[in-house]
Amino acid sequence: MSVSIDDQRRAALRARRRLAPQQGRMASRRACQRIARLPVFRRARRIGLYWPMRHEADPRLLLPYFNRRQQAFLPRVAGERLEFIAVDGPHFRRRRSPLGILEPTAGSARPVAALDLLIMPLSAFDAAARRIGMGGGFYDRSLAGQRASGFRGPWLLGLAFEVQRVDHIATREWDVPLDAVASEAAIYRRATCPPSLR
């Protein structure tokens, strides 16, 4: 009997909530250390992060690995899609979005296609780097347009805890594929991910 996407999402989120805060911080740190060693991270100049909600893996721990050429961007909800605002570290003017996520209020917005690397939250993933999002569809809608145009756009990297990994995720036609997922245990790459970018 196959498990539904909703059941997989609920089970993975339950497992994530069971992690103690100290476990989550340590796992986030290890995952960010793995990301920092990737050639695609070292070459990227414009890097999209996210402000973590409670229990999410924290990409802000990647900031100490940024070099002088690299700029962090955070998403802001704009209608049904996301736009990305440049920020300088963790101190910036912010507000809570209708989704309950902290987002920047000041700064010029850029489309997702302007990024070199986009680190995305997720609720569950599998070893083939397939992702189940939180259910709102904002990342999929934001990425669908630029993928339809034939423009490659940013390298897409999910960030999660190992307890969120499930056996297999059935993709749906609107799901935008990730290039890889990082956890504290490993980097899980999509089979068609170009070796030069790994």
| pLDDT tens sequence for the chain (198 residues) | 568 888 999 999 999 999 999 999 999 999 999 999 999 999 999 999 999 988 999 999 999 999 999 999 999 988 888 999 999 766 677 888 877 788 888 778 889 999 999 999 999 999 999 999 887 778 888 888 665 555 568 999 999 999 999 999 987 776 788 999 999 999 999 976 555 444
- Of 140, 98, 136, 102, the C-alpha closest to 9 is 136
Q: What is residue 146's predicted lDDT score, i.e. its pLDDT?
A: 61
CB burial of 184-194 (b: ≥16 within 10 Å; e: otherwise) equals beebbbeeebe
Cα–Cα nearest to 39, from 117, 131, 147, 152: 117
| pLDDT given at position 136 | 78
Output the CA torsion sign for 94, 106, 119, 139.
positive
Q: What is the pLDDT of residue 196?
A: 47
CATH number, domain of 173, equals 3.40.50.10420
Structure tokens at 193: 């991910």
pTM attached to this predicted model: 0.90
Q: What is the pLDDT of residue 147?
A: 57
16 closest CA partner among 156, 152, 124, 142: 124
Q: Which residue has the tokens 């089970």?
A: 11
Q: Give CA–CA dist 121/116, Å, rounded.
A: 17
pLDDT at 149 (0 to 100): 55
Residue 126 belongs to what domain range? 5-61+69-197
pLDDT at 148: 54
Nearest Cα neighbor of 84 from 44, 54, 113, 59 is 113
Report the number of distinct structural domains present in the chain: 1
